[in-house]
Copies of this chain bind each other. A is one copy, B any other.
Amino acid sequence: MEFEESGIGEECGVFGCVAAGEWPTQLEVAQVLTLGLVALQHRGQESAGIVTSNGASPPTYTSHKGMGLVSTAFPPEALLKLRYGNLGICHTRYSTTGFSELQNCQPFVVDTLHGRIAVAHNGELVNARALRKKVMRHGVGLSTSSDSELITQLLALTPPMEELDTPDWVARIKNLMTETPTSYSLLIMFKDVIYAVRDPYGNRPLSIGRLVPISRLHSPGAGEEDTEGWVVSSESCSFQSIGAKYYREVLPGEIVQISRFGVKSLSIVPRPEGDLPAFCIFEYVYFARPDSIFEGQMVYTVRQRCGRQLAIEAPTDVDLVSTVPESATPAALGYAQQSGLPYTEVLCKNRYVGRTFIQPNTRLRQLGVAKKFGVLTDNFAGKRVVLIDDSIVRGNTISPIIKLLREAGATEVHIRVASPPIRFPCYMGINIPTKEELIANKPEFKDIAGYIGADSVEYLTVEGLVSAVQEGISSFQKENVSSQKEVGHCTACLTGKYPIELEW
């Protein structure tokens, strides 16, 4: 199978829902979960899993997992099977590690002496290797390579388990958070409750929403008395498609309990003295959907600001500004606004080509990524173009695009990248090519413009990116989030400065 592009990949998305009010609920929980997860599909397309609970004592859990997109993985029969749930969590997954693919699919469900729990995880434990050893030394066999299983075994291990009517899961979660500082956003379902947890550094996002009656959705004043249920999601973009209103973010280090009675903050586990939060800056730059809200600001707005900043840092003398559709469009519009240059479309994406089988070693392979784009020749023939991209990872995607534009008559093609060069690996949940594959670490990077065939190439600076991100937060923070005055972001892949020391 063809696999030309290999950029950077998100690890996962998590989503949960608890029906409010009387149970059995009238709310179609399994449908809400599915549709909520579909809205997180950009965070992982490999497999998807769902677990619902009826919330009874003891609870009945129903689960379904499948390979591929949510629409494939959750066929109508599966949703039928899950329909009696009053609450549930689900997960969509990006990468394949380990050797039985479906087995690594989350949520992970285990029986413990306290009862059955289900865990969905977005992130990557920085000290996973040491923790696996620790768990195995305790005499536990680990059946998958996934952090989720490790997390469930860690939750079960300490403090020692007893058969209890009301087990203290919060103590276990707090203990887990002392064992591993980052990176995780977790949903833990136990009987009739979901615990939503973000690591102390807040490295991965997690937001809470409130389901309101569709009829009240468009009346701004719908109060809490109308709540039909609570949802929790890696990104708030999923709220729109299920008729939920944005409620708030889970804070770094926070353990939130979501039950049919509402949302309750149970604890905020602090970071080590002096450490700043380390929310992944690439969620803004690349991963998140533009309509998601992080730290009180819309991702689209941040990307637009990056484009504006880029126009200040790296102006060009050209005839028009354009975008590599479609993730770079907000930045391109920002660049156009700041520079005063006209925003013009030069490429048209073919949505279907990606999944077609192409035999290796044929003339068609040589076309590379150009197969995915149609050229809007008349829009730029005889003109000088600045093309905005959101990131350049390997350089093998942008190069054939530049060739395309030149062939179609662009007299100059300048590249401006709305983020700094990626130079370092991520150990916190992002799949970045090896250091050697990153264009920024190659000798060719010295003449990157020559290498990819552009007239000039410039990147946004790290300072520019950080200020574009943080500019919109400070005012919001002061007003809204009293418990968390500091602002900080993980820029490790750009700077090599990891939020915590890595010992392997």
Complex: how many Å from CA A157 to CA B140?
A: 6
How far does the Cβ of A73 sit from chain B's closest Cβ, in whole Å? 11
Proximity string of chain A (375-409) to chain B, C-beta cutoff 8 Å, 1 when within and 0 when not: 11111000000000000000000000001101100
Complex: how many Å from CA A370 to CA B348?
A: 24
Complex: how many Å from CA A156 to CA B356?
A: 36
Asked whether any CB of chain B lies closer than 8 Å to the CB of A485, the reply is no
**Are A63 and B99 closer than 8 Å at their CB atoms?**
yes
Complex: how many Å from CA A338 to CA B149?
A: 59
* Chain B residues within an 8 Å CB radius of A379: 298, 300-301
How far does the Cβ of A212 sit from chain B's closest Cβ, in whole Å? 10
* Chain B residues within an 8 Å CB radius of A162: 137
* Chain B residues within an 8 Å CB radius of A155: 141
Complex: how many Å from CA A342 to CA B370?
A: 31
Closest chain B residue to A119, Cβ basis: B141
Are A100 and B111 also in contact (CB < 8 A) when A348-B289, A350-B38, A356-B35 are?
Answer: no
**Are A79 and B359 closer than 8 Å at their CB atoms?**
yes
Asked whether any CB of chain B lies closer than 8 Å to the CB of A478, the reply is no
Proximity string of chain A (42-74) to chain B, C-beta cutoff 8 Å, 1 when within and 0 when not: 000000000000000000011111000111001
Are A38 and B352 also in contact (CB < 8 A) when A110-B141, A139-B161 are?
Answer: yes
**Are A111 and B350 closer than 8 Å at their CB atoms?**
no
Closest chain B residue to A117, Cβ basis: B141
Are A38 and B300 also in contact (CB < 8 A) when A99-B62, A139-B138, A363-B214 are?
Answer: no
Proximity string of chain A (319-359) to chain B, C-beta cutoff 8 Å, 1 when within and 0 when not: 00000001001100100010000111100101111011111
**27 chain-A/chain-B pairs, Cβ below 8 angstroms:** A35-B371, A39-B352, A41-B352, A61-B99, A62-B99, A64-B100, A65-B100, A69-B352, A70-B356, A74-B356, A79-B357, A108-B143, A111-B132, A111-B143, A138-B139, A141-B156, A143-B149, A213-B363, A214-B363, A237-B350, A241-B350, A241-B353, A241-B370, A243-B367, A290-B374, A300-B345, A333-B343
Supply 14 further A-B pairs (C-beta < 8 A) apart from A28-B362, A75-B357.
Answer: A41-B350, A70-B352, A74-B357, A100-B109, A137-B161, A139-B153, A139-B157, A140-B156, A214-B366, A218-B403, A289-B350, A298-B378, A300-B378, A301-B378
